[in-house]
Amino acid sequence: MIESPHPPAAPATSPASREVTNRVRVLSVLVEDGPNTLSKISGLIRRKGFHVRSISVGPSREAGRSRMTLTVDAGHAEADQVRKQLERVVEVIEVEDVTSDDVHSRELVVAKVKSFQVAGLVERGAKVLDTGADGTTVEFAGEGKDVGDFVNELMRHGVVDVARSGPVVMRRTA
Partner 1 sequence: MILEALEREGVEYIFGYPGGANLPIYQHLHEHPKLKHILVRHEQGAAHMADGYARACGKPAVVFATSGPGALNLVTGLCTAYMDSVPMIAITGQVASTQVGRDAFQESDVIGATSSVTKHSYLVTSIDDLPRVIHEAFHIATTGRPGPVLIDICKDVQQADAERVTPDRLEIPGYQLNGHVDLNRAGEAAQAIAGAERPVILAGHGVLLSRAEKELKEFAEKAGAPVGTTLLGIGAFPVNHPLSLHMTGFMGTGWNLKAVQNADVLMMVGMRVDDRVTARLADFAPKVKTFIHIDIDGSEMGKNVRPHIELVADARNALEAMTPQIGTLDAGRGQWLAQIDAWREEHPLKYTRSNDSHSNGRLQPQDVLIDMYRRARNEAIVVADVGQNQIWAALWWNYDQPGLFINSGGAGTMGFALPAAIGAKFARPDKAVWCVAGEGGFVMTAQELSVAVEHQLDVKIVLLNNFSLGMVRQFQDDFYGGVRSHSDLTHMPDFVKLSEAYGMPAIRVDKLEEVGPAMDTAEKTKGPFLIDFRIDPEANVYPIVPLGKSLNDFWEAPN
- Please give the residue ranges that form the binding site for partner 1 (CB under 8 A): 13-18, 31-32, 35-36, 39-40, 43, 47, 77-78, 80-81, 84-85, 87-93
Q: What single-letter DSSP state applies at residue 146?
A: H
Cα-Cα-Cα-Cα torsion 40, 82, 100, 102, nearest 10 degrees, comes to -20
Q: Which is nearer to partner 1, 48 or 124 (CB)?
A: 48
Q: Which is nearer to partner 1, 89 or 111 (CB)?
A: 89
Q: Which is nearer to partner 1, 32 or 146 (CB)?
A: 32
Q: Which is nearer to partner 1, 90 or 122 (CB)?
A: 90
| Amino acid at position 13, single letter | T
Q: Which is nearer to partner 1, 80 or 101 (CB)?
A: 80
Going from the C-alpha of 135 to that of each of 20, 77, 117, 157, 159, the distances in angstroms are 48, 47, 9, 10, 9
Least gap, CB of 95 to partner 1 (angstroms): 10
Q: Phi and psi of 51, rounded to 5°?
A: -140, 120
Q: How far apart are the first and last CA of the chain?
A: 31
Burial class (CB in 10 A: 0-12, 13-18, 19+), 10: exposed
Least gap, CB of 65 to partner 1 (angstroms): 9
What is the number of residues in the chain? 174
Least gap, CB of 93 to partner 1 (angstroms): 5
Least gap, CB of 55 to partner 1 (angstroms): 18
Least gap, CB of 10 to partner 1 (angstroms): 12
